[in-house]
């Protein structure tokens, strides 16, 4: 290997945190979904037979989608912006690279071991957890070394990341003990105590800021109270889910839907379409209202009649509609801005984002109880196909930017 050439490549690739972490996250957007497409194709009798895994494929898929994808984008973003938010020094390469290595090593060992060894899968998870905890330590260290000031958002984000580590620990304990109750605990922590608090907090911090840079006569709406209301609501939802009291969720989810709609309106989604890069952020956030509205409707019907009408459609409105869409929208903006490019979403990227919205809608339709049962499978496969096509093209469009120097010649 040409050592000077490799050193040049590595210095560029690892110059700032988001390059490393976003690239790994982009890879994880694709590889697990290829496995899941193979699994669904086999289930529906289209292609081959399901692959043998040491734990049920559905649970492996759920874990990777909740914990194995988003953490890379979260760390890539937070290790870049934490020092800027707190007017502190940038996090050095020697501190963020170990987290990157351990997270990737652990997750790859886990994913490969799914096909042959439960013990190796557990080892991979423990290495992955080590990288997760190291990332928390690095961010906490940045917070402690920063000058005095308002660190409200940063503390919330660190708390949610810590709860995410608890969720990974729960899943690891399931692998070790085969106690299936830790599966639902890990998944509910991942959604309600980890991802939703982080995505809502980042949206609360950044979406009005991005909007005010584009729209004239725009008044910032960032009430601190809404953060605590949302996080408290998610915590109560988590408790009701764990106690299997889903018929009472409407008491929590109707206020959460109203809170999400309030922010959508006050953040002026209707004006955001003058700029596609801004519009995709607002569109992604609107899914939060849709998701909580579906949760509320399902809970009310369950409370009144005992019927469970929407299956997992509310969950997928939250996870694919809000979380995944916000991930792609935010990652696109950060990638363009930090590669020295203009903050303009081209037509191809716009179409890819719309395709992801169709994937979310298709996945929701797969949960509807049609008279023809095969329609559910078709919508499920269509959702996976749309995801793979859109994310593959997005990867080809954006991933090379993490491997090349900024086009404006600036460092980073």
Q: What is the pLDDT of residues 161-177, one digit of tens each?
A: 999 999 999 999 999 99
Domain 12-402 belongs in CATH node 1.20.210.10: yes
For residue 392, give the nearest of 17, 12, 31, 20 by alpha carbon.
31
Question: Which runs of consecutive H residues, i.e. helices, occur in 146-223?
Answer: 152-177, 181-188, 196-212
Q: What is the pTM of this model?
A: 0.95
What length does the chain have? 412
Give the single-character DSSP code of 143: H
Question: Which runs of consecutive H residues, i.e. helices, occur in 44-150?
Answer: 57-63, 70-85, 93-113, 118-145
Model confidence over 262-297: pLDDT tens digits? 999 999 999 999 999 999 999 999 999 999 999 999
Cβ(154)–Cβ(85) under 8 Å? yes
For residue 168, give the nearest of 193, 149, 189, 143 by alpha carbon.
189
Cβ(310)–Cβ(261) under 8 Å? no
Q: What is the pLDDT of residue 371?
A: 63
The answer to whether residue 373 scores a pLDDT higher than 70 is no
How far does CA 196 lie from the centroid of its chain? 9
* Alpha carbon distances (Å) from 7 to 1, 12, 247, 400, 406: 11, 8, 58, 17, 17
CA atoms within 13 A on the CB side of 142: 27
Share of the chain above pLDDT 70, in %: 99
What lies within 8 Å, CB to CB, of 310 at 6+ separation is 294, 297, 298, 367, 368
């Amino acid at each position: 290997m040409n050592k000077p050439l490799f050193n040049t490549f590595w210095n560029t690739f690892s110059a700032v945190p988001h390059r490393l972490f976003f690239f790994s996250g982009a890879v994880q957007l694709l590889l697990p979904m290829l496995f899941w497409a193979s699994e669904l194709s086999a289930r529906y009798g289209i292609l081959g037979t399901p692959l043998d895994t040491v734990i049920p494929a559905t649970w492996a898929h759920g874990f990777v989608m909740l914990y194995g994808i988003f953490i890379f984008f979260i760390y890539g973003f937070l290790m870049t912006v934490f020092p800027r938010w707190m007017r502190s020094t940038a996090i050095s390469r020697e501190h963020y690279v170990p987290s990157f290595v351990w997270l990737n090593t652990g997750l790859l060992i886990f994913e490969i071991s799914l096909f042959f060894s439960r013990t190796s899968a557990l080892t991979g998870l423990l290495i992955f957890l080590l990288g997760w905890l190291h990332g928390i330590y690095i961010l906490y260290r940045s917070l402690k070394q920063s000058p005095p000031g308002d660190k409200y958002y940063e503390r919330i984000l660190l708390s949610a990341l810590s709860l995410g580590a608890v969720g990974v620990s729960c899943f690891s304990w399931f692998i070790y003990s085969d106690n299936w109750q830790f599966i639902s605990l890990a998944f509910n922590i991942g959604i309600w105590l980890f991802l939703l608090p982080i995505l809502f907090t980042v949206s609360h911090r950044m979406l009005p800021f991005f909007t005010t840079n584009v729209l004239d006569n725009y008044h910032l709406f960032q009430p601190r109270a809404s953060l605590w209301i949302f996080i408290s609501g998610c915590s109560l939802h988590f408790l009701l889910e764990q106690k299997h009291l889903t018929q009472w969720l409407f008491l929590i989810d109707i206020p959460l839907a109203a809170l999400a709609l309030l922010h959508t309106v006050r953040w002026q989604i209707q004006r955001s379409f003058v700029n596609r890069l801004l519009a995709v952020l607002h569109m992604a956030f609107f899914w939060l209202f849709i998701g909580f509205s579906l949760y509320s409707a399902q809970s009310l019907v369950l409370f009144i009649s005992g019927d469970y009408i929407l299956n997992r459609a509310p969950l997928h409105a939250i996870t694919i509609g809000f979380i995944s869409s916000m991930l792609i929208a935010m990652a696109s903006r950060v990638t363009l801005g930090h590669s020295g490019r203009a903050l303009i979403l081209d037509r191809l990227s716009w179409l890819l984002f719309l395709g992801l919205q169709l994937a979310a809608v298709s996945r929701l339709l797969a949960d509807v109880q049609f008279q023809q049962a095969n329609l559910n499978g078709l919508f499920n496969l269509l959702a996976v196909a749309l995801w793979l096509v859109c994310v593959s093209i997005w990867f080809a469009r954006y991933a090379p930017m993490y491997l090349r120097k900024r086009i404006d010649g600036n460092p980073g």
